[in-house]
Structure 1
Amino acid sequence: MKQFKKTAIAMGLAQMTMMLSGVALAQTTDAPKTNDAPAAEPVAVIVTGQRAALQSAQKIKQNSDEIVDSIVAEDMGKLPDRSVTEVLQRVVGVTIDRTMAKGDPEHFSVEGSGVSIRGLSYVRSELNGRDSFSANGGRSLNFEDVPPELVSGVDIYKNPSAEQIEGGIGGLVNLRTAMPFDYKGFKASISADRTWSELKKGKTSPSYSGLVSDRWKTPIGEVGALLDMAYSESATRTDAFQVEPYYPLKDANGNSVYVPKGAQWRTLEFNRKREGAYGALQWKKDEWSSGLTYFKSKYEMKWDEQAIFAQSSPYNIRVSPDSTFNSQGALQTGTLTDSTGAGINFGDDTRAANRKSDTTDLSWNLRWRKDSWTVTTDLQHIKAKTNSFDSTVATAIQLPKEKLDLTGSVPNLIFDASDRAYLANPNNYYWAFTQEHLDRSTAKENAWKTDVKYDFDNPVLRDVRFGVRFTDRSATTTNSNPSYNWAAITQPWQGEISHLAYLSDPRFSGNTNLHSFNNFFNGSVSVPSVVFPNVSLAQGYPGTYATLHTYHDLLCAEAGNTCAPWTPATFGTDPAGTNDQSEKTKALYGQMRFGWDDLKYPVDGNIGLRYVKTDSTAHGYTVFTATLPTGPTQGVPIPTITPFSKAQDFDNTYHNVLPSLNLRLKASDTLQFRFAAATAISRPDFTQLQAYTTLQQSVDTTTVNGVTTVNTVNLSGTGNGNPNLRPTTSKQLDLTMEWYFAPTGSFTAAVFNKRLKDIIINQVYNYQLPDTTGKLQNFTVTGPVNGARGHARGIELAYQQYFDKLPGALSGLGVQANFTFVDSKRDLYNPVYSKYCTGGDSAANVNLNLNGCDTNGTTFGNLPLENLSRQSYNLALLYDKGPWSARLAYNWRSKSLQGVNVNGTKGGDGTDSNPASPTYGQTNVAWALPTWADSYGQLDASAFYKFSDKVSLGVEAQNLTDSTYKQLMQQNIGMMGRAWFKTGRRVVAKLSYDF
């Protein structure tokens, strides 16, 4: 395989050095495949500054066989970013999530989390062209876990070729690390930095990195060794407002209006440590070469949160006569009270969470090259693990009233002196509840592949490639039982106690603190102080929990009742908490490269076919229970099925044939066009494949004169996952124009269309179980299914240039800009009607409530693909002249759907007993609101000064404009504000030294 000779200013930890310095480092690494002829020996090219790094990345894109965007080490170092995730957002077509988890939008991630390419989250992650993943129940790597100092370059492939490993419909992100032969000889560097966070007054976070590499001539051939290590800390704070969903109520005049049950505020202190170690050995002699690499990344985060949240029944809320509403009837200003007279019940929780994860990769590569033949074999062992603990302890208070003004850019919570005094008095609080969650995951894989290439001496045929790949992977995730163990200490609705455990009672006082929310929202907003449990109570599980629950036991005994003791969550034997998967794949591919150089407009490219077979086994459990009448019945016959609980293994096998074509036409030396067509797949996440299913049988009956008549037989169930899921597939087309008018000047445009099939959504499906006669009975089970199709199509535009012809110091100015537009559609499949639902017809869309239902029970119809912004762009002003290098970069993306049924925007209120509610008397008034991330932009900057060829000093700043991140919740009355997050600015000072 041909290798493109390129230079990058950093390897491993040296990358951080280069980040800091802009000093020229010579390096030659394996880059994306090109059409250049392979060279026997690597050629070192000296490059200096961020401009040369951009030139190197541009050359990679221009000469690659596929459609690819690249970032080389110096470019990564010069971006004002602190993680690989943040670096990726600068690439055209790439966006990042800014919440800690997809299912929990209530917690902001300062450094970003998940990555989407062209609006799709089906992204494959690789390390040096091999699998790389985190143990989180998914298939990809948490890029925020990886120290960027260990990475020498990143390649983002937009359309696959047959020789690339399957699995990325959206795209493929390959992280590249340095090798000893990338340097001419001895190389060493160290760097250090310190980060200051605006909301964490007085506290800074350190980071360190270092690299050493050398190569030697020996009797057995040339040998090289490299060691790269990194350590970094980050300490940030996030303040937030939150408004509860709007419920249908009546105002003081009996008009139908929508009113939230309250608004709340919170603050979260976040601390993380990231460690990385990378080592590489290389050897070559004659036709043989080999490399051995070891990569380990460790990530540890801890956060604690103080949050006050409304927990009253929404239908008990009343609004003052002076309240105002918008044209849709949604509350704008007003005072909320509770119809019970006891006050609006608010919980005040202290929450502490931590997660530790690591990924270890050990890989060995052997290559033989002679004449026209090149044979490469590769072995990999990768293991990842993670464990986390999430603990919440809460007090509660019944606030007499809450006055809201929701007309501004953030909610205005208006508290008079009496309100503030009431909230500051510990005697008004009682002990409310505890909740803990534990989980642990492991994932490992062994992989082997062999690739063969034969080079032709032919005017048309360039080479033919073929290869095989085998993998054996397993993943096990265990959640505590119960998964989230919410347990009341004292609650107003508990009938077994006569009063609540108020802190005014000396038996229950202490272990709390008055949190003052200093400098809240960077000093722009003032909120009252609140009494919270001490953080030590959340961290002291299970002992502190046991003590708190004795308060309930004591009050229960005083009321003359006997109550069940508190039971902690444990890693027990309940199979509902365990997801155990194994998977083997076998792949075979063939690919041919060709070209016609003598045409007026030369054409080259590749065509190939990849075949892959997937065999997966889900080690699961099925439970069937029946609730049936006793005695004789008439009417609808009841199938007889014996109740059972049993372990079951579910095997799933599927085959995929993946053709691909990549063509390039050279209109001139600087202008070229590409066309790419391919079929791609993305397998289901392991969390979606869990084989734990509960089935229930029940009947609806009427009894007249002692005779029971069965009206209907209900066969239903719930699947924690679905082991029979197929991969999502895509047929995709790309057309690009690329104009390279200068070494660091280019304008590129791309048009793409991805037609998706078998998108996985939560929906109902049939699950068959035989009765005692052998007849199969159909159960209606709710769970993940391949129940939708859709598309993602759009355009990408990218431009970069240095203005070398400007006079004097101005010649160092440059600019980068890119823009992405993506249009998406998702059609849900309705098994009742055996059709795709493309409109809002309620009959055809009978099951759409699983994918979005308002608080009044009405559905929203089809929603777009998740995590997809229709528009996103980057603008960067560059400077690179003499010892100075700087960048001012702005990133923006439009709103995107985060999900449905996510934390805080779903509920089921049972029977509505409030006569003032439009749904009075209805049973199971359930709702699930779509949650959106609103449009968001952030301005970052960096500046570096090189004192000498060895020493440089730099400063970086993130979120210079102190942007506020906003979330929305979709309701029939419009897109309502759900949450507002403020994180403040961050400033980093960096120093590096090259030996």
Structure 2
Amino acid sequence: MHQFRKTAIAVAAAQIALLASGAVFAQTTDGAAASAPAAGAQVPGGANMVVVTGQRAALNSAQKLKQNSDEIVDSIVADDIGKLPDRSVTEVLQRVVGVTIDRTMAKGDPEHYSVEGSGVNIRGLTYVRSELNGRDSFSANGGRSLNFEDVPPELMAGVDIYKNPSAEQIEGGIGGLVNLRTAMPFDFKGRKVAVSLQTTRSELKKGKMSPSGSIMYSDRWKTGFGEIGALVDLAYSESATRTDAFQVEPYYPRTDVEPGRTVWIPKGSQWRTLNFDRKREGAYGALQWKKDATLSSSLTYFKSKYKMQWDEQAIFSAASPYNIRVAPGATYDAKGALLTGTLSDPIDGGIDFGADTRAANRISSTTDVSWHVSWRPTSSWAFDTDVQRIKAKSTSFDSTVATAIKMQQENIDLRGSVPTLNFSDADRAYLANPNNYYWSFTQEHMDRSTADEWAVKADAKYTFDDPVLRDVRFGVRFTDRDAVTQNSNPSYNWAAITMPWQGELGGRLAYLGDPRFSNQTQVYGFPNFFNNNTNVPALVFPNTSLATGYPASYTALHQYYNVLCAQAGNTCSTWKAASFGTDPAGTNSQSEKTGAAFAQLRFGFDDLKYPVDGNVGLRYVKTDMKARGYIVFNPTGIPNDPAGFPTTGAAIPVIAASSSAREFDNSYHNVLPSLNLRMKATEKLQFRFGAAMGISRPDFSQLQGYTTLSENVDSTLVSNAAGTPLSRIVNNVSLTGTSDGNPNLRPIQSRQVDLTAEWYFAKAGSLTMAVFNKDLKDIIVTQSYSYPLQGTDGKSYNFNVTAPVNGARGRARGMEIAYQQYFDMLPGWLSGFGLQANYTYVDGKQKLYNPVYSVYCSGSDGGTSNLNLNLNGCDIDGKTFGDLPLQGLSKNTYNVALMYDKEKFSARLAWNWRSKNLQGVNVNGTRGTDGTDTNPASSTVGQHNVAWALPTYADSYGQLDASVFYNISENLSLGLEAQNLTDAKYKQLMQQGIGLKGRAWFVSGPRYTASLRYSF
């Protein structure tokens, strides 16, 4: 880092020397050699992009950028962002052809819905690079890209989505590149002031209004030493929403319910309500200076801050699935899955359900300071240099406090669009009575992350005076990045308060009816549940203050265990809070240095019947990564038998316990050629061809260097007829290991080809088509590899370690078509109507280098397969699934928007839809079918401890949004926006041998926003 900073200082000194030289200036885009132009800057082909007003003019400006770009790009300019019916950058991106967004809070947590969307896929792939003004931008979350929902859209001048790379673009986006652009002072002719105010109301949450606002000031002045421009932009936004959800547990095969047949019964259905509040703040400032025509400089500061908090009241089934009984009269579908029936559990005294109150918060920020200098010493030569410093941090806390109840029965009807639960008045009264609940458990999790980077770039361009050669560009770029993520230890600290299986309590439970344990609970009635479309019983939950009052509230709750344990006359354990502490298992620390060089030639054959232009280039990048971690081995061995006790069978490796700090080095280099061609059939019709190689580096969360090695000895005691042990037989010794990361991972690589046809038949009128193919290799999947460890006997023993590996290849291929037009040929006011429509088809597949397929996938006991080896998951009955699609890939996606823009009115009615897509396999943890949350050491098909890992999908989903704006005057406008007008339901599916079954249903209701904009 010290040497890197010296380099950065040297480059900065060179920039100062250039500024002091007094040469003339010409305005250019910051980072022009690497990405899309900023508003008002020179774009490829000589077109100037300026800040525009009006929906029609905005579409025309974005269309010109697409038409004149060297690469395949789709853009949305500032005014278009402001008038789309969207409240986040993520929602804006979903309108672009080939782009889809996730609607869950995190990829590993599909049980929680995100109203404003989260992750972004391009052409079905998650490998998306994010940039701000052509430079790195990222969040501190263990990944490499930016959380787009964290960024205030009010600060954006435009968004560009690149589908194919060129050599001058920074490597890292196989799926595509999203570049966020901010305005610069020289984008405006003089002083510019813009103010916006909004207030939003969620129909489902009711009552609470969420304010938002932004203000921008920009001006420029001529001085004796050149022209200076300054811009300040501030944004603040709140959002308060609510999500209601139903869930159905996985289906279990039962032969003891219906005589002579196997039927599949879930262990219950459950419901929840989540209240979500977020605050988003943004600050942006820019300074520009120019002398005349050859020398310029700019300094920008950008900071986004995101704070969210949510709390949830949720009931979930904790029942033993094979103890569930089904009352006579139940109905089933053709494959034996339950449709309607009444469930009970007389064996356990009722169906065990937990009533959770969960609270979570996250605070994250990204700060970017960048300095850019452009020097044009002659008409042929141009030099651009950049120095960037970016810092990101994030902290989060997740807390759950639960009561529990034994529900006497649950009547389920799964035939409709959502589950219907029927309860008698007596059942409802029972569920609303606090005396029937006891304190169950607590669980907390904390994490904190930091990431920072220095980046230095120097580019040069030589312009030819030649009929064919346009210019040659070349440059270098260096980065130094550190990333540290710490998770609390234990990561998710689950601890029982009182549970029926705790023998030391002597059957005692901390019931709320006992005055000693009647602490801060509420009867919650789920008002307006699913927008009054369904009715569920009231339940008793802990107050949210108990979840947010950690650790004092947890200490008080766990005292109930101590009271009952002492009453039973037993020794009691002590609850310990999770902490960051010094345990290296919770720390993921890496540093990464990269060096890149590129050369790119632009050319054009204008004298051909059909002129052809384009660029060809080569990018070379070297990556040096270091990960700091530990290798830990704790031998299990066999029980401490008496001296001389004979042991036979398999040999037990002699390996000493160890815990050693390690530093892992991983260096690799990549050569990335690219070719982009454009042929102009006419001034309005053109075709493009692109071919390139690309990479996407592993996320930092996948590079963790902490590995736990284990020795598992399976042995049998041999006894005489009297039951006296005589000897021990060692049946099998398995050496295994687990790790959440692998510091030796290499980047995913792609070879990609793009072909487009583009017809620009009018201003803001175009029809474009594209076909593409991306061949992928070294896809990162979780499988096993061999890790050698030397024993005390000098022998080397191989451990079968399950971790992320470069273990698969795949492809994504498909087509896009996009159309937009205003119908100017219509008479009068009808000429204000327009239409936007686009459709994307993507077909993708993934194939393991070393596939593990078998009839059963549940054993880690030396059987034919291992759950951790099977990427495609395991069903409840132990059977595996076939090949699965790429995660996050929807085969079909489309947008349709009816637009109107005439005189003082501007409006849009927009529909977005995407088809089913895989969310993941085992995204909520591996569980045994006996209801435990642990991965059993061994299993036998037919017994109740078979492990399972089900693939889950997001079902097809469409949402209707709208906006209308009225220009009261040239400077003042009033607007109304609405999201999710049709109150769409988001459905999650789970894959089992009986087909795709409904797992969860979410509703968030419509949102309405009123806005006022003033500018001069």
Taking structure 1 as reference, are residues 825 and 46 closer, same or farther at Cα in structure 2, changes over 3 Å only? closer
Q: Matched residues in 1 for 2:751 and 2:865: separation?
A: 27
Taking structure 1 as reference, are residues 3 and 678 closer, same or farther at Cα in structure 2, changes over 3 Å only? farther
Taking structure 1 as reference, are residues 254 and 541 closer, same or farther at Cα in structure 2, changes over 3 Å only? farther
Give the deviation of 1:711 after TM superposition.
3.9
Higher mean C-alpha deviation, range 705-714 or range 485-494: 705-714
Higher mean C-alpha deviation, range 322-331 or range 86-95: 322-331
Q: Matched residues in 1 for 2:706 and 2:348: separation?
A: 45
State the AA in 2 paired with 1:190. V
- Partner deviation per Cα, 1:699-756 (whole Å, 9 max, x = no partner): 3344558454444331111112111111111100000000000011100000000011
- Partner deviation per Cα, 1:754-803 (whole Å, 9 max, x = no partner): 01101111111111112235443211011111111110000000000000
Q: Matched residues in 2 for 1:168 and 1:700: separation?
A: 47
| Aligned match of 2:433 | 425
State the AA in 2 paired with 1:941. A
Could you tell me which of 658, 668, 671 is aligned with 1:644?
658
| Aligned match of 1:588 | 597
| Aligned match of 1:13 | none
Q: TM-score, normalised by structure 1?
A: 0.94
Q: Is the 8 A contact 1:619 1:648 kept in 2?
A: yes
**Residue 824, structure 1, aligned to residue 844, structure 2:** yes
| Aligned match of 1:721 | 741
**Residue 608, structure 1, aligned to residue 617, structure 2:** yes
Q: Matched residues in 1 for 2:501 and 2:978: separation?
A: 50
- Partner deviation per Cα, 1:143-182 (whole Å, 9 max, x = no partner): 0000000000000000100010000000000000000000
- Partner deviation per Cα, 1:8-55 (whole Å, 9 max, x = no partner): xxxxxxxxxxxxxxxxxxx95236x51338xxxxx7868441100000
Q: Is the 8 A contact 2:27 2:290 kept in 1?
A: no
State the AA in 2 paired with 1:813. F
State the AA in 1 paired with 2:125. L
Q: Matched residues in 2 for 1:846 and 1:698: separation?
A: 16
Q: Matched residues in 1 for 2:932 and 2:910: separation?
A: 53
- Partner deviation per Cα, 1:194-218 (whole Å, 9 max, x = no partner): 1011012121100010000101111
- Partner deviation per Cα, 1:346-386 (whole Å, 9 max, x = no partner): 10011111100000000000110122001101000000000
Q: Matched residues in 2 for 1:712 and 1:527: separation?
A: 51
| Aligned match of 2:319 | 312
Aligned pairs for 1:746-895 (under 5 A) are 746-830=766-850, 849-895=870-916
Q: Is the 8 A contact 1:956 1:988 kept in 2?
A: yes
**Residue 978, structure 1, aligned to residue 999, structure 2:** yes
Q: Indicate the SS of the match to 1:443.
A: strand
Q: Is the 8 A contact 1:386 1:441 kept in 2?
A: yes
**Residue 107, structure 1, aligned to residue 112, structure 2:** yes
| Aligned match of 1:321 | 328
Could you tell me which of 953, 958, 975 is aligned with 2:979?
958
**Residue 36, structure 1, aligned to residue 46, structure 2:** yes
Q: TM-score, normalised by structure 2?
A: 0.92
Taking structure 1 as reference, are residues 377 and 257 closer, same or farther at Cα in structure 2, changes over 3 Å only? same
Q: Matched residues in 2 for 1:811 and 1:921: separation?
A: 69
Q: Is the 8 A contact 1:501 1:551 kept in 2?
A: yes
Q: Matched residues in 2 for 1:271 and 1:52: separation?
A: 35
Aligned pairs for 1:329-348 (under 5 A) are 329-348=336-355
Q: Is the 8 A contact 1:343 1:399 kept in 2?
A: yes
| Aligned match of 2:631 | 622
Gaps of 5+ in 2: 1-24, 30-37, 720-725, 858-862, 934-938
Taking structure 1 as reference, are residues 848 and 779 closer, same or farther at Cα in structure 2, changes over 3 Å only? closer
Q: Matched residues in 2 for 1:771 and 1:667: separation?
A: 71
Q: Matched residues in 2 for 1:435 and 1:540: separation?
A: 13
State the AA in 2 paired with 1:858. K
| Aligned match of 2:524 | 515
Give the deviation of 1:578 after TM superposition.
0.6
Q: Matched residues in 1 for 2:41 and 2:728: separation?
A: 77
Q: Matched residues in 2 for 1:823 and 1:28: separation?
A: 35
Give the deviation of 1:920 after TM superposition.
7.2
Aligned pairs for 1:81-480 (under 5 A) are 81-250=86-255, 251-253=257-259, 255-286=261-292, 287-369=294-376, 370-480=378-488
State the AA in 2 paired with 1:939. L
Taking structure 1 as reference, are residues 825 and 843 closer, same or farther at Cα in structure 2, changes over 3 Å only? farther
Give the deviation of 1:339 after TM superposition.
4.0
State the AA in 2 paired with 1:647. A
Gaps of 5+ in 1: 7-26, 38-42, 913-917
Q: Is the 8 A contact 1:44 1:184 kept in 2?
A: no
Give the deviation of 1:220 after TM superposition.
1.4
Taking structure 1 as reference, are residues 296 and 518 closer, same or farther at Cα in structure 2, changes over 3 Å only? same
Aligned pairs for 1:695-706 (under 5 A) are 695-702=709-716, 704=718, 706=726
Taking structure 1 as reference, are residues 310 and 710 closer, same or farther at Cα in structure 2, changes over 3 Å only? closer
Q: Matched residues in 2 for 1:233 and 1:193: separation?
A: 10
State the AA in 2 paired with 1:35. G
Q: Is the 8 A contact 2:284 2:303 kept in 1?
A: yes
Q: Is the 8 A contact 2:40 2:49 kept in 1?
A: no
Q: Indicate the SS of the match to 1:962.
A: coil
Q: Is the 8 A contact 2:876 2:929 kept in 1?
A: no
Give the deviation of 1:905 after TM superposition.
7.0
State the AA in 2 paired with 1:174. N
Q: Is the 8 A contact 2:708 2:739 kept in 1?
A: yes
Q: Is the 8 A contact 1:911 1:925 kept in 2?
A: no
Q: Matched residues in 1 for 2:1005 and 2:60: separation?
A: 34
| Aligned match of 2:502 | 494
Give the deviation of 1:634 after TM superposition.
4.4
Could you tell me which of 675, 678, 681 is aligned with 1:661?
675
**Residue 574, structure 1, aligned to residue 595, structure 2:** no
Taking structure 1 as reference, are residues 3 and 522 closer, same or farther at Cα in structure 2, changes over 3 Å only? farther
Q: Indicate the SS of the match to 1:713.
A: strand
Give the deviation of 1:994 after TM superposition.
1.1
Q: Matched residues in 1 for 2:849 and 2:840: separation?
A: 29
- Partner deviation per Cα, 1:891-926 (whole Å, 9 max, x = no partner): 0000100011112675464999xxxxx977637410
Q: Indicate the SS of the match to 1:627.
A: coil
Taking structure 1 as reference, are residues 703 and 129 closer, same or farther at Cα in structure 2, changes over 3 Å only? same
- Partner deviation per Cα, 1:943-966 (whole Å, 9 max, x = no partner): 000011111100000000010000
Alpha-carbon RMSD across the aligned residues, in angstroms, is 2.2
Q: Is the 8 A contact 1:762 1:851 kept in 2?
A: no
Give the deviation of 1:536 after TM superposition.
0.7
| Aligned match of 1:11 | none
Higher mean C-alpha deviation, range 563-572 or range 57-66: 563-572
Q: Matched residues in 2 for 1:81 and 1:413: separation?
A: 35
Taking structure 1 as reference, are residues 35 and 469 closer, same or farther at Cα in structure 2, changes over 3 Å only? same
Q: Matched residues in 2 for 1:815 and 1:530: separation?
A: 49
Taking structure 1 as reference, are residues 125 and 907 closer, same or farther at Cα in structure 2, changes over 3 Å only? farther
| Aligned match of 1:671 | 685
Q: Indicate the SS of the match to 1:35.
A: helix
Q: Is the 8 A contact 2:372 2:385 kept in 1?
A: yes
**Residue 945, structure 1, aligned to residue 966, structure 2:** yes
Could you tell me which of 555, 558, 566 is aligned with 1:557?
566
Give the deviation of 1:314 after TM superposition.
1.1
State the AA in 2 paired with 1:621. Y
Higher mean C-alpha deviation, range 440-449 or range 310-319: 310-319
Q: Is the 8 A contact 2:39 2:181 kept in 1?
A: no
Q: Indicate the SS of the match to 2:45.
A: coil
Q: Is the 8 A contact 2:123 2:175 kept in 1?
A: yes
Q: Is the 8 A contact 2:635 2:710 kept in 1?
A: yes
- Partner deviation per Cα, 1:54-97 (whole Å, 9 max, x = no partner): 00000000000000000000111111000000000000000000
